[in-house]
Structure 1
Amino acid sequence: MVKGRVLKLINFAGLRHMRSPASAMNGYVTKGVVIKSDDMCAIRQAANLLEMGQVIALPTDTVYGLACNANNPNAIQRLYEIKGREETKPVAICVAEFQDLRHWGKADHLPDELLGQLLPGAVTIVVNKSVYLDNPFLNPGTKKIGIRIPNFDFIRNVSKSFRFPIALTSANRSSEKSTLNVNEFEKLWSSLGAVFDGGQLGLQEEQRAASTVIDLSEKGYYKVIRDGVAGEHTVRVVQKFGFREV
């Protein structure tokens, strides 16, 4: 059995999909377990682990991501540790619906019509944090937060089940390329509460560019922070709504 904290998951199903470096006995699961994301209980299992403060890996509409509870200080610090990322370098959060985006971020100046043409999709919208996003270790030194609503049922359903914002960054060590299948970040498995395997996410190398990141925190203005996979479409949309480049 792999060393590490042992976790209890309720209604654990799909044990046939577990593979090294994980093992299970009597419903207890060690760190690093790989679970097929289409297993019956995978969504609830992922939400349980987030509630317990664990860092997990899961598929998105672009690349695989590392995820944790965005309002849990210990979980965020652990996320940065696993990623090997400087704590001053921002991470985004993932939510399920527009009302969640408006709850955790200050986005009243963004019309639903604009959001509806960008999300769900491979776009991270940067706005100012709301008072409800109160983790001092989440993007310290900035009032801004990037928010995603991925066009991928599994992570959106996990977000709905969890009910809180999910901190999200690509599943790779800092300075290494982003990943399109779970085997590409196998060296991180033993550090994670679980790995949710959604299969190969794409065959084109361009997909590793991940989401487009655009700052819409100032009414009427935009700034592209990362071009990503949806840069041209995103700029066309915001310009159509009268936003001007900073």
Structure 2
Amino acid sequence: MAQYFEVHPQNPQPRLLKQAAALLQQGQVLAIPTDSSYALVCVLDDKNAVDHVRRIRGVDDKHLLTLICKDLSELASYAKVDNRQFRLLKQATPGPYTFVLEASKEVPRRVSHPQRKTIGLRVPDYPVVRELLDLLGAPLLASTLILPGDEIPLSDPAEIREQLEKELGAIVDAGSVAVKPTTVLDLTTMDGGGDATVLRAGQGDLDKLGLSL
């Protein structure tokens, strides 16, 4: 049975986030709010938790999971980043962008794409997530909370509780969030002097980065 933590979206209570962080460290899967939707999250190095995220989502190992990092330096520890890629990342973080990059050796092979060896990475600008990451001292592996057969993410914590209370360690409730996906950029296409490829236009402003569809 999931624990339920009601937090303020801009000034989340540290006591409640500490309890949520402890559950993550124990290998639990949580539902948390982000700047784009609610997401399922777990720690990176717990295989059972990662498998549980995939079961809830109904996806296989070819579905790209996203690593949520607290800052650019942490992101660069989990992906291979050259100078051009780093400059673009610096412009875009923190913010509503997801970047596809070649995974470094710090990323377990089971959570990177099995053929391409890539990983999705984010540095969100959302207080609940950022403070949770500070408490953990490590990134979170995440997947947008879309249930099998649905086309849009769950955005109401009461509905999440109704449908997933028996599947989760906890639900962090910061109220309903707007469902608008991140902009997804494939930076692996910058290798050899190419440009970043826009895989999905979302919240993140492309003009800010000098990109277009």
The equivalences for 1:92-241 within 5 A come to: 92-110=66-84, 113-176=87-150, 177-185=152-160, 186-202=162-178, 208-217=179-188, 218-219=190-191, 220-230=194-204, 233-234=205-206, 236-239=207-210
Work out the CA distance in 2 between the residues paired with 1:46 and 1:135: 26
- Gaps of at least 5 residues in structure 2 are none
Query: 1:152 deviation in Å?
Result: 0.3
Query: 1:138 deviation in Å?
Result: 4.3
Query: 1:161 deviation in Å?
Result: 1.8
Aligned sequence identity (%): 26
Residue 36 (str. 1) matches residue 6 (str. 2): yes
Is the Cα contact below 8 Å between 2:85 and 2:187 reproduced in 1? no
Query: 1:159 deviation in Å?
Result: 1.4
- The letter for the 2-side match of 1:42 is L
Is the Cα contact below 8 Å between 1:101 and 1:107 reproduced in 2? no
- The letter for the 2-side match of 1:193 is G
| Cα offsets for 1:52-94 (capped at 9, x unmatched) | 1110010101111100112221111011011122232111110
- Who is 1:72 aligned against? 46
Number of equivalences:
204
Q: Say which one has the larger Rg.
A: 1
- Gaps of at least 5 residues in structure 1 are 1-30, 203-207
**3-state SS of the aligned residue for 1:65?**
strand
Question: TM-score scaled by structure 1?
Answer: 0.75
Work out the CA distance in 2 between the residues paired with 1:225 and 1:112: 19
**3-state SS of the aligned residue for 1:159?**
helix
- The letter for the 2-side match of 1:161 is L
- Who is 1:55 aligned against? 29
Q: 1:106 to 1:174 in 2, by over 3 A?
A: farther
Q: 1:76 to 1:140 in 2, by over 3 A?
A: farther
